[in-house]
Chains A and B, each alone.
Chain A
Amino acid sequence: MIEVKNLTKNYGSHVAVDDISFSIAEGEIIGFLGPNGAGKSTTMNMLTGYLSATAGDIVIDGHDILNEPNEAKASIGYLPELPPLYMDMTVREYLNFMYDLKKCKLPRAAHIAEICRIVKIEGVFERLIKNLSKGYRQRIGIAQALIGNPPVLILDEPTVGLDPMQIIEIRTLIKTLGKHHTVILSSHILPEVEAVCDRLIIINRGHIVANATPKQLSEQYAGGHHLTVRVAGAEDAVVELVKKIPGVKKLSVLGTKEPGSIDLLIEQEDDADIRAELFSRLAARHWPILSLKSSERTLEEIFTSLINQPIVNGNGGDRA
């Protein structure tokens, strides 16, 4: 549905997007993730034809954005970072304008009414946009993207500035939309994309640093799983014992947090699970386990480590 090849965008000498490539299949919901200034909006603006790429190709639904801009643009519904709303219009006037602008062929009244129902703006249909709250404006922004029923939806930070209830509603809405559309949404908040997306593309400083499903990401980057254990016993003896258990990769002492006990952080080998062995060995010595917690790295931690790692030689090759 969307093919991006070697896409690069320079702003003067600043490289905003550096030779990225990805493809998106029909019906996928893709999360475009990265810190502010990573190149998310620039990429989206190029996908929608608002900006032209310095180099590289974008093909939307079989149409090259450069050679067949109108066909490509007609297959995209775009919600920019700031919804492009005319404050002096009512919701009705605005949606009708967008309907005309997009040269939509669907039955006008029914199509607009259906969109209003989907994004829940029927109640403000006759009101001036400038008098509406941010939540409503965001929905009107989504509504205009839906006009013409384009196969691809590109939503740039659709939930930014909304309250928690509205965020949940918009997320549910995006999930629903994902059943009939290919969706790309950007965010700098991980749980948001984690909740709705089939696949995440993590972008940092113009490079793609990861492109995988949330599950693959956790598996790939979760690293050795950790155990935190609190044992009632003497420090040296306990450490000596635990070290000998097969499967223990690394052991560090966290100190005493409860009198007469000791906290240990155990890093296990990749496929090992030492919990049963740990229990029986300690029990044999009558050193009771007071608590045992297994901690996996969350996607949040993976994300943080991905965007903090230096870009050694990203997919852009040696670019001075």
Chain B
Amino acid sequence: MIAVFKREFQTLFTGPIAYFVWALMFFFAGLFFYSYNILGGQTALTGVFDILYTISLMLVVPILTMRAFSEERRNRTDQALLTAPVSLTGIVMGKYLAMLLVFALGMAITLVLTVVIAMFGATPAWASIFGNYLGLLLLGGNLIAAGMFFSTLTESQFISALLTFAFSFILLMFDSFASLFSNATWLVTAIEFLSVNTRYQAFASGTISYGNVMYFLSMQALFLFLSVRVLDSRKWQ
């Protein structure tokens, strides 16, 4: 697992992907920090976290995960991985953790912004910042697991990114489905239960509930498990 993790992490930096992803995160975080906090004079980093939430879903994760297994399969390097004495779980976890680390390091830009706020004598809203940080990390992990799963399905990086994008898009739009089914209360309840946004907003407001953490963790576990299953099933085709 460690070998796969190290290689994956290194590859993200020998190619443009990690830099591109970071550039996206830094640019949008900086832009919103400038307009809300510097120009608007706010001390809360809500604007910054909101935009990070959106671009993580729509851009960052699809780009980060699109090559995970698609590229290996296209270049037949998966033969080296799958014939090595390593478990599939080890391979999947190694890749997942490498991408999660790149994502987490990109998020760390917000720490710089927090320090800037503190330097001007304002007290940052620590509970909200911590909640946002944890929420974003869980959400990112969730999406990375899903994106990686989609990359096991195809040799094409483009299709892999597109599937992840479509998945993210549905998550983002999920809440608005509830209003479509307002006369079927059980469906509304189900949608509210599954909604990523509702749960994320709880983190953003600084509330960390056991149920919400479990929701994100179990969804990650589900996609990691599915990735392993897809890789395993390929042997049996």
Interface membership of chain A positions 262-296, coded 1 if the CB is closer than 8 angstroms to chain B and 0 otherwise: 00000000000000000000000000000000000
- For B75, what are the chain A residues with a Cβ–Cβ distance below 8 Å? 84-87
B116 part of interface (Cβ distance < 8 Å): no
Q: How far is the CA of A49 from the CA of B81 in the complex (A)?
A: 11
The yes or no answer to A97 lying at the interface (CB within 8 A) is yes
B6 touches A49 (CB 8 A): no
Known contacts A50-B79, A85-B77, A87-B75: A97-B84 contact under CB 8 Å: no
Residues from 40 to 61 in A contacting B, C-beta threshold 8 Å: 45, 48-52
B-side interface mostly: helix
Within 8 A of A (CB), among B1-24: 2-4, 6-7, 10-11, 14-15
| Interface flag for B186 (CB, 8 Å) | no
Residues B80 and A144 in contact, CB atoms below 8 Å apart: yes
Is A101 in contact with chain B by the CB < 8 A criterion? Answer: yes
Contacts A84-B77, A97-B7, A100-B3 given: A78-B85 contact, CB under 8 Å?
Answer: no
- Give how many A-B residue pairs fall within 8 Å (CB-CB): 71
Within 8 Å CB of A70, what residues of B? 85-87
**A51 closest partner in B (C-beta):** B235
A84 lies within 8 A of B3 (CB)? no
Q: In the complex, which range does the number of interface residues on chain A fall in?
A: 20 to 34
- Look across to chain A and name the residue whose beta carbon is closest to the beta carbon of B71: A86
| Given A80-B76, A84-B77, CB of A73 within 8 Å of CB of B237 | no
Who on chain A is nearest to B232 by CB? A52
Contact with B along A63-96 (1 / 0, CB 8 A): 0000001110110101010101111110001000
The interface residues of chain A lying within 8 Å CB-to-CB of B2 are 100
**Which residues of chain B come closer than 8 Å to A87, judged between CB atoms?**
75
Give B82's nearest chain A residue, CB to CB: A50
Pick from A52, A84, A85: contact of B236, CB below 8 A.
A52
* A101–B3 touching, CB < 8 Å: yes
Cα separation A144 to B87 with both chains bound (whole Å) = 19
Q: In the complex, how many angstroms separate the beta carbon of A127 from the nearest chain B beta carbon?
A: 14
| 0/1 interface trace, chain A 90-112, chain B, CB 8 Å (1 if under) | 00010001101111000000000
Q: Are B83 and A73 in contact (CB under 8 A)?
A: yes
In the bound assembly, the distance between CA atoms of A87 and B236 in angstroms comes to: 28
Chain A residues at the B interface, C-beta cutoff of 8 Å: 11, 45, 48-52, 69-71, 73-74, 76, 78, 80, 82, 84-89, 93, 97-98, 100-103, 144
